[in-house]
């Protein structure tokens, strides 16, 4: 009988522990996940900032989940940062970065690049951004390019940025959007509206606000594909619903297409439908 009870508890103890860990991670994700973190599951929306009312709860659950998840460790750092615990945030991000979190690498790079809470070290910032970029993190790419253009630094390399974004764009909506912008403007290589539109379409399918707005503009102008006013308006509406200001302005221009100007060329009023 005793052996049977032992077998029962051994059978169920591990699944229950795994379930508890999973629940902690789910709650950690809900309160502190970063929308731009490549480690984030597709079904987790994420939050731009950890809400002040959620900080204590986020720290509690992320701390528990962090032992088995680099994503939770990174999110713990976000919760600490929101609570203005800079030292704790940096320590959590270091641990997450050591485990391969590219999002944590970016945050550490920002701290070193700006000298926030640590001695400014541009070389260390560049190293972290490069590592994150090579892991396919779009923020790593964009921050590396921005650092390249800073005073006293080597010139930014748009062609290299394209190359790194190309790897990240295989799966990441933000990278698809950023690479689409480069292709649309010819930054870092040949201009290619068709390829840019295809990338915007992929990112738009994942509800990326900027990509939805660009798809609206490309459809409205017939860039890189067919001209379609109806589709353009639909894209703008989806982007505007997600808060994109350029899309809101585009919808207003569609509603009020005629501008009346004075002799000096200044806008007097618009005619709206």
Report the CATH number at residue 268. Answer: 1.25.40.10
Contact 65, 25 (CB under 8 A): yes
Distance CA 51, CA 116 (A): 21
pLDDT > 80? residue 126: yes
pLDDT tier at 140, thresholds 50, 70, 90: confident
Instruction: Give the percent of the chain with pLDDT over 90.
Output: 59
pLDDT score at 11:
36
Of 56-65, 129-138, 153-162, 168-177, where does the model show the most confidence? Answer: 56-65
Contact 161, 127 (CB under 8 A): no
pLDDT tier at 156, thresholds 50, 70, 90: low
Going by C-alpha positions, the residue among 129, 69, 58 that lies closest to residue 99 is 69
Number of domains the chain is built from:
1
Q: CB under 8 Å to 205, separation ≥6 — which residues?
A: none
Say if 149 falls within a structural domain.
no
Distance CA 226, CA 220 (A): 9
Say if 138 falls within a structural domain.
no
pLDDT > 50? residue 169: yes
Say if 238 falls within a structural domain.
yes
The Cβ-side half-sphere exposure at 253, using a 13 Å CA radius, reads 13
Say if 44 falls within a structural domain.
no
Say if 265 falls within a structural domain.
yes
Domain extent at residue 227: 180-273
The model's pTM: 0.63
Query: Which residue would you say has higher pLDDT here, 145 or 199?
Result: 199
Q: Per the structure block, which two tokens stand in for 156?
A: 């930014």
């Amino acid at each position: 009988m005793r052996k049977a009870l032992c077998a029962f508890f051994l059978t169920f103890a591990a699944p229950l522990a795994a379930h508890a860990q999973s629940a902690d991670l789910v709650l950690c994700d809900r309160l502190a996940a970063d929308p731009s973190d490549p480690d984030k599951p597709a079904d987790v929306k994420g939050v731009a900032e950890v809400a002040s009312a959620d900080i204590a709860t986020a720290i509690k659950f992320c701390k528990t989940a962090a032992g088995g998840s680099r994503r939770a460790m990174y999110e713990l750092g976000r919760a600490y940062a929101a609570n203005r615990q800079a030292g704790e945030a940096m320590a959590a991000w270091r641990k997450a970065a050591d485990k391969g979190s590219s999002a944590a690498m970016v945050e550490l790079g920002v701290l070193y690049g700006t000298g926030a809470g640590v001695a400014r070290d541009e070389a260390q910032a560049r190293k972290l951004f490069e590592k994150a970029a090579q892991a396919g993190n779009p923020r790593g790419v964009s921050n590396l390019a921005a650092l390249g253009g800073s005073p006293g630094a080597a010139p930014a390399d748009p062609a290299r940025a394209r190359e790194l974004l190309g790897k990240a764009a295989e799966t990441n909506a933000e990278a698809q959007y950023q690479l689409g912008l480069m292709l649309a403007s010819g930054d870092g290589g040949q201009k290619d509206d068709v390829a840019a539109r295809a990338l915007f379409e992929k990112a738009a399918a994942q509800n990326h606000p900027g990509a939805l707005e660009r798809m609206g503009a490309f459809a409205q102008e017939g860039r890189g594909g067919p001209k379609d006013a109806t589709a353009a308006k639909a894209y703008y509406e989806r982007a505007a619903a997600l808060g994109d200001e350029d899309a809101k302005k585009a919808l207003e221009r569609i509603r009020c297409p005629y501008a009346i100007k004075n002799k000096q060329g200044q806008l007097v009023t618009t005619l709206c439908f």
